[in-house]
Amino acid sequence: MNWERRLPPLAEDALDILSQAAQDDQENANDSDDGYDFSTPDFTKTEAQAVLVANEEFTEADAEYALDLLYRRGHIYYVKEEVYITPTDD
């Protein structure tokens, strides 16, 4: 069976928020660069939680839950305390 389980709405929202924040940070850091740099972390775990909580849709517990779910489903990965958003074909 080749299907992907849907993320709950809270986790989908978290992924959208984190992806947009990472893209905005990347654009600000490299205005002249044409591509996204997957070799640098998007956030530390603490920064990722802060980005979500700053959105006001998330409590600390919601942010922690969403990050855990995104990790378990392969949408983000950790290297030590650094958070990377898993690249997609989209």
In angstroms, the CA 8 to CA 21 distance is 20
- Dump pLDDT digits (tens) for 41-71: 889 999 999 999 999 889 999 999 999 999 9
Instruction: State which amino acid sits at residue 64.
Output: E
**pLDDT of 35 above 90:** no
Q: Which of 41, 51, 40 is nearest to 15 (CA)?
A: 51
| 2: in domain | no
| Residue in 33, 56, 31, 47 with CA at minimum distance from that of residue 85 | 47
Query: Considering its fold, how many domains does the chain have in total?
Result: 1
Asked if residue 3 belongs to a domain, the reply is no
Residue 80: give the domain boundaries: 9-26+38-85
CATH classification at residue 50: 1.10.10
Query: Alpha-carbon distance 11 to 33, whole Å?
Result: 30
What does pTM read for this prediction?
Answer: 0.80
